[in-house]
Chains A and B, each alone.
Chain A
Amino acid sequence: MAEPLTKETVTKVAHLARLKLSETELDLFTTQLGQVLGYVELLNELDTTAVEPMAHVADIANVFRDDEVRPSLSRAAALSNAPKSDGKFFVVPQILEEG
């Protein structure tokens, strides 16, 4: 946890996050994220072995509803913000080779 953050790691994380970053951004984030990660080391002062993690404060679990057909967005409304659409589908670049 304590090893310094490298530009290689930042590059790898950017790929995982699907963020295309410039060299300048990679350098800047390596420094800035390194500082933040250095700061959060503070939490290691605490022994939390016996503490249950708290993902959520609300005392709610498994919210169910009946499986009923209800009105939903029309196709036109659902496609209205699409960067590219053919009026029926969202259009994306080809992802499979032609066989």
Chain B
Amino acid sequence: MSLLSASAIKLIGQLNHGDVTSSELTEASLNAIAAQDANIRAFLSTNAEAALAQAKAIDEKRKTGQPVGKLAGLPIAIKDNMCTLGVKTTCASRILENFVPPYDAGVVEKLKAADAVLIGKTNLDEFAMGSSTENSAFQVTRNPWNLEHTVGGSSGGSAAAVAARMVPWSLGSDTGGSIRQPAGFCGVIGMKPTYGRVSRYGLIAYASSLDQIGPFATDVASAALLLEVISGHDGRDSTSVDRPVPEYSQTVEQPMNGLRVGIAREHFGEGLDHEVAAAIKQSLDVYRSLGAEIVELSLPHSKYAIATYYLIAASEASSNLARFDGVHYGHRAAKFDNLIDMYSASRGEGFGPEVKRRIMLGTYALSAGYYDAYYLKALKVRRLIRRDFDAAFERCDVLASPIASTPAFRLGELVNDPLAMYLSDIYTISANLAGIPGLSLPCGLSSTGLPIGLQLLAAPFEEEKLFRAARMFERATEWHTKRP
């Protein structure tokens, strides 16, 4: 386990210097999973044989002086909603329980091209719908800091795997906070890029106008490097943006002179846990001590974000998930009367309760007579939310806020109250509606020993600023060194 205590970027340095081999790291990762994952349950599947073979091949390349990729030899875990050629991809759903993709997602191709070692697939809320990873059809992932608490979600497996140092880094997807919130709950770095920065090709769609893939890591520089590798235009995703990818890992160590950190007064209202509020205030003091200016501003439409999000996300989900019909792939019911009944029975059996709820909500919001009142209304409010951010980023470089109003809640605490669970996404959801990048980094521990996360947001395609500002904080604090 000690081998994996260093950050990903440091491990790559050790690999390049010949201090450690990929085979050793891969074995260490598999051993850590064997030792810890019976309790944490972050992984839905691992691929030991293939990973060890891949590691061996990369070690051989290094030994013989052949060129290797940027991530060469380092194990990585991938959320199980990204397609992996020949490796089961379930979305933590019964309906895809036996689905073996015939192709790799764009990000998986990039990881392979960079010589990363694919260790396994991680647990999530079914189809990424949830905020606690309790909605998985297969298992509940537990928080490495306290097994009675949730890891957050929906990328809970990827967050927990990194927090417990079973892998040095991982990929998640973020539709309403699904990378940033579990990163906050698990005390690691989690980053959601600008919409369009990373290809969604092969990411099993939940809400297409909001979904984005991003990295988890134990330090900011590693997250920057991983994002740099997975970013870039992909003709197979028509919303992928064709603009150059900066080398984030090359600029992350440069502090920003005259940094302006915005805070929105709407983010510090009622319902915010006092320990979280105190940790965020202290974080602002850290930025002040680094010479940053704190700018108070307003995001007047914040309070409408959750309602807007759940209408849009559910509407898109109801359309996206129509493809699961028991014909081309996935579960087909054994008994049915006719074609329509086959669709309905297969879907009724294959989807879990939260997925059904969102399909129902979306179908309702898009149905005749309700479209204007719900879906169209939400699209209009979405523009107002985006305008709030456009105005805010004229006055600041990054916006600081909590990730969630409390540290990780207890298992079972919210899972039977869908609306309460939705409301827990208050701080993260706007970034997806506005399409802006966001990052979560550790900024405190509660009195009960649970991590507290600081969220930083930036204007579209300002990932570089986000990483640099986060690195300034990380360099000045010890929170990222705390371990479960």
Contact = CB atoms under 8 A, between A and B. Distances in A.
Interface of A: 1, 9-10, 13-21, 25, 28-29, 32-33, 35-37, 39-40, 42-46, 48, 51-58, 60, 63, 65, 73, 77-78, 80-84, 90, 92-93, 95
Contacts of B196: 57-58, 60
B357 A21 contact: no
Given A17-B363, A19-B347, A56-B239, A93 B339 contact: yes
19 contacts: A17-B347, A18-B325, A19-B347, A19-B351, A20-B349, A25-B353, A32-B418, A33-B360, A33-B364, A36-B361, A37-B364, A42-B303, A54-B386, A57-B195, A58-B196, A58-B435, A80-B102, A83-B332, A95-B338
Which of B342, B374, B380 lies at the interface centre, i.e. has the most chain A CB atoms within 10 A of its CB?
Answer: B380
A43 B377 contact: yes
Contacts of B356: 19, 21, 25, 29
A24 to B, nearest CB: 11
B241 interface: yes
Interface stretch (B128-136, B245-253, B305-313): B305-313
B46 interface: no
A51 B329 CA distance: 41
Contact of A39 (B235, B322, B419, B460): B419
B299 to A, nearest CB: 14
A32 B419 contact: yes
B408 to A, nearest CB: 24
Given A21-B356, A42-B304, A54-B383, A36 B239 contact: no
A21 to B, nearest CB: 6
- Residue in A1, A33, A83 with the greatest tally of chain B CB atoms within 10 Å: A83
Contacts, number: 163
A87 B379 CA distance: 44
Contact of B209 (A29, A37, A46, A57): A57
B434 interface: yes
A41 to B, nearest CB: 8
Nearest to B337: A93
B318 interface: yes
Contact of B342 (A25, A90, A92): A92
B326 interface: yes
A35 B307 CA distance: 12
B329 A40 contact: no
B332 A84 contact: yes
A13 B99 CA distance: 28
